[in-house]
Structure 1
């Protein structure tokens, strides 16, 4: 139990009874450090107290003039702010099953008959005090966690921004050297600088994506898009790194309702993953199958196999892929994790299959966004 909550934050217990002696008796039984007893002699007075007080439990006498305990319970249950307060009824009336049933029907957690055994009452109340303190502690921890996630997102964004500026200067300088240098060794060095800075830029982008996903969720801006055209554009972007190695083909209707930027990143990560981890001597094939009326399938295949034990964790963060190229162990292992998160946000799924020395990653997307998908696109992933 959190010591700060126990020592400084008293838990409120509401006692409602129209007989002053009963209120005093209940106070004598329940009073202890850490508990604040709020007493009301009528239903309206109890409702007035509940306007401001955070109450862990309400002990309500059933038989009161004017507004009885059942009517008070219905009003408590009818308010958004108070409907979650546990209610425990106390009555001196006979054990009428109909009255007991009505008590539970109005939301009671317990129904006790007077005279109540003090130890029984005290133990029952302690259960709800403990539950209330645990809920309060969880609420504080959740608020602290959300604050930490926000700070982490801001820190990562600032870090990414500060790293991108000098990195961009390095890349532009390398491009200038490549355009003007005539010395082969200088060209080779500039080419390595450009390749490494490009990989570092992708790592920064992946870190920022993961920070946003885990801190504030993902909001999709869907529009009708031809993903075959998007795949060809991504292929052209990789053309310099792998000339004539990447092929893109499709059949059927390749139009879907997607966030173009997110799906471009999915395709870029899949093709980049195939380039980095696949057999450099074999082609990379991107195939879009739009023949199904309600879905579109995208398959990216490359040479080389993934170990069977790694398939299960392939889309987990910071796992990485052990490709056939022993030198292709670089990166953060976030690319396929981001692919999986983005595809799930679209209501789709991504799977991996590695057999006969060839690896296939398959994305299946619904052709149209459902209302449930639209309602949940901002939920944290």
Structure 2
């Protein structure tokens, strides 16, 4: 009652407990800024009650001041501090001293609570910002997916639309060539034949570019089409493709050497396989201009193998690392042209048929591309002489 009177008028709420057990129950139910505890109480004494309080993590931070009416003995003081007391007062307590001590700990409690609320607010704001960032990221990803979808849809439509006039144009050029070849002796005819051949080459080039865009959209959407046939002859495909590139090789100053057996048979898509061979040979003639280009076909332990080697500009490790990505080029398009899709498409086709493409190159010493394909079902082991890709 004396303590309650001394603390009245200070704006504090005082909660009274008449025993250690009741004090523990009160502490479990609500938060306190300070505990004033008599050493002597019925049941649990103050020291034992303090020890139990300090065993609970949420309560051990509450400051505790012991009160005693007995003489202030050294042993009691040491025992009080050992049980977690921050101070030890002897009754009767001076009212001003009591109020001053209580106010200090109450102010510390209020500051600590204000800091806790501030930190909690900061955590909430941080969490809200994280959530906002996550939502923005999801929104941007969705917009990016939609942009990619629209891009692929545009490329697909544009490719189809561009192929529509190319097909009849190529047909007309072929008919015109046949008519001119019927009268080959005229000087004017020979001049027109040269112009016509140039026009046909440009149409073929444009067709290849359009087909590359169309294949890229199909690959991106997972719709690459393969038509597997039995007993497809890789050797015959390589010979036919090489024959179709003879004029281009002559213009590039690239003598072509072929090391091709009669038959290397497998279950492959012949048109797609022809596309891969054409892409690799076209690159070899483009980047190895003025130097020989060599093609070799072989079969080893159930694997068909095509090797295309040039002696051109070659490439370093950095270029090789990104060579098979979409729209990537080993050199400037200003000097060599192209969309950077040929090797990407070739790799996707070869992988879809269960194979792989490898490249070896040194700057200034040319490049060697190797295509390895299973001749039937995919063997359990990798191609002989090489580890897994």
Report TM bin, short chain: 0.5 to 0.7
Give, in whole Å, the separation in 1 of the partners of 2:167 and 2:134: 49
Q: Where does 1:149-160 land on structure 2 (aligned, <5 Å)?
A: 149-160=148-159
**1:253/1:236 CA distance change after superposition, 3 Å:** closer
Q: Of the two structures, which has the highest relative contact order with CA contacts closer than 8 Å and spacing of 6 or more?
A: 1
Residue 276 of structure 2: aligned partner: 266
Residue 240 of structure 2: aligned partner: 236
Give, in whole Å, the separation in 1 of the partners of 2:263 and 2:174: 40
Determine helix, strand or coil for the equivalent of 2:309: strand
TM-score, normalising length from structure 1? 0.54
- CA shift at 1:289, angstroms? 4.2
Residue 66 of structure 1: aligned partner: none
1:348–1:366: 8 Å Cα contact kept in structure 2? Answer: no
Q: Deviations over 1:28-62 (max 9, x none)?
A: xxxxxxxxxxxxxxxxxxxxxxxxxxxxxxxxxxx
Give, in whole Å, the separation in 2 of the partners of 1:355 and 1:226: 38
- CA shift at 1:339, angstroms? 2.5
**Residue 331 in structure 1 maps to residue 330 in structure 2:** no
Residue 348 of structure 1: aligned partner: 356
- CA shift at 1:366, angstroms? 6.5
Determine helix, strand or coil for the equivalent of 2:339: coil
**Residue 284 in structure 1 maps to residue 294 in structure 2:** yes
- Structure 1: state its 5+ residue gaps: 1-62, 64-92, 97-113, 372-381
Determine helix, strand or coil for the equivalent of 2:246: coil
- Structure 2: state its 5+ residue gaps: 1-28, 30-54, 59-112, 248-254, 381-389
Q: Deviations over 1:156-196 (max 9, x none)?
A: 11211121122222211211121110311111111111111
Q: How many pairs were matched up?
A: 255
**1:123/1:302 CA distance change after superposition, 3 Å:** same
- CA shift at 1:149, angstroms? 1.1
Residue 217 of structure 2: aligned partner: 211
1:304–1:357: 8 Å Cα contact kept in structure 2? Answer: yes
- CA shift at 1:253, angstroms? 7.5
Determine helix, strand or coil for the equivalent of 1:118: helix
- CA shift at 1:359, angstroms? 3.2
**1:240/1:249 CA distance change after superposition, 3 Å:** closer
Q: Where does 1:182-193 land on structure 2 (aligned, <5 Å)?
A: 182=184, 183-193=189-199
Give, in whole Å, the separation in 1 of the partners of 2:355 and 2:57: 55
- CA shift at 1:310, angstroms? 7.7
Residue 260 of structure 2: aligned partner: 249
Residue 275 of structure 1: aligned partner: 285
TM-score, normalising length from structure 2? 0.53
**1:328/1:272 CA distance change after superposition, 3 Å:** farther
Higher helix share: 2
Determine helix, strand or coil for the equivalent of 1:286: strand
- CA shift at 1:134, angstroms? 1.7
Determine helix, strand or coil for the equivalent of 1:285: strand
- CA shift at 1:204, angstroms? 1.0
Give, in whole Å, the separation in 2 of the partners of 1:290 and 1:342: 21
- CA shift at 1:320, angstroms? 4.1
- CA shift at 1:129, angstroms? 2.0
Give, in whole Å, the separation in 2 of the partners of 1:221 and 1:166: 25
Residue 141 of structure 1: aligned partner: 140
Give, in whole Å, the separation in 2 of the partners of 1:94 and 1:251: 88
Determine helix, strand or coil for the equivalent of 1:362: strand
- CA shift at 1:145, angstroms? 1.1
Q: Report which of the two structures shows the higher radius of gyration computed on alpha carbons.
A: 2
